Copies of this chain bind each other. A is one copy, B any other.
Amino acid sequence: MENVSKIWLGPLPADSPYVKPFRLYYVQNGKEKNWDLLKVHDSVAIILYNTTRQKLVLVRQFRPAVYHGILTSAEGNFNEVDLTKYPPSIGVTLELCAGIVDKEKSWAEIAREEVLEECGYDVSVERIEEVMVYRSGVGSSGAKQTMYYCEVTDADKATTGGGVEDEIIEVVELSLPEAQRMIQKGAVNNSPPSCLMGLMWFFANRAPSASA
CB-CB under 8 A for A135 and B69, given A31-B166, A35-B64, A140-B19: yes
From B23, B27, B66, contact of A135 by CB (8 A) = B66
From B4, B21, B168, contact of A21 by CB (8 A) = B21
CB-CB under 8 A for A197 and B193, given A21-B21, A139-B63: yes
Size of the A side of the interface (Cβ < 8 Å), in residues, is: 86
A28 surroundings in chain B (CB, below 8 A):
2-5, 62, 166, 168
- Kindly state whether residue A160 has any CB partner on chain B within 8 Å: no
Docked complex Cα distance between A38 and B4 (Å): 20
From B21, B62, B190, B201, contact of A200 by CB (8 A) = B201
Let me know if B26 and A22 touch, CB within 8 A: no
Let me know if A142 and B63 touch, CB within 8 A: yes
Task: Determine the residue in chain B with the shortest Cβ distance to A30.
Answer: B5
Docked complex Cα distance between A38 and B183 (Å): 27
Let me know if A12 and B6 touch, CB within 8 A: no
Let me know if B73 and A42 touch, CB within 8 A: yes
- Kindly state whether residue A125 has any CB partner on chain B within 8 Å: no
CB distance from A202 to the nearest CB of B (A): 10
Interface residues of A (CB under 8 A from B): 2-13, 16, 18-19, 21-31, 33-40, 42-43, 62-70, 72-73, 88, 91, 93, 95, 100, 130-145, 166, 168, 183-185, 187-188, 190-194, 196-197, 200-201, 203-204
Given contacts A31-B166, A134-B193, 11 further A-B contacts (CB under 8 A): A3-B28, A4-B28, A7-B26, A10-B25, A13-B23, A18-B36, A19-B36, A21-B38, A37-B65, A65-B142, A203-B204
Can you name 12 A-B residue pairings with CB atoms under 8 Å?
A: A4-B26, A4-B27, A12-B38, A13-B23, A24-B64, A29-B168, A68-B142, A70-B142, A91-B142, A132-B187, A137-B137, A200-B201
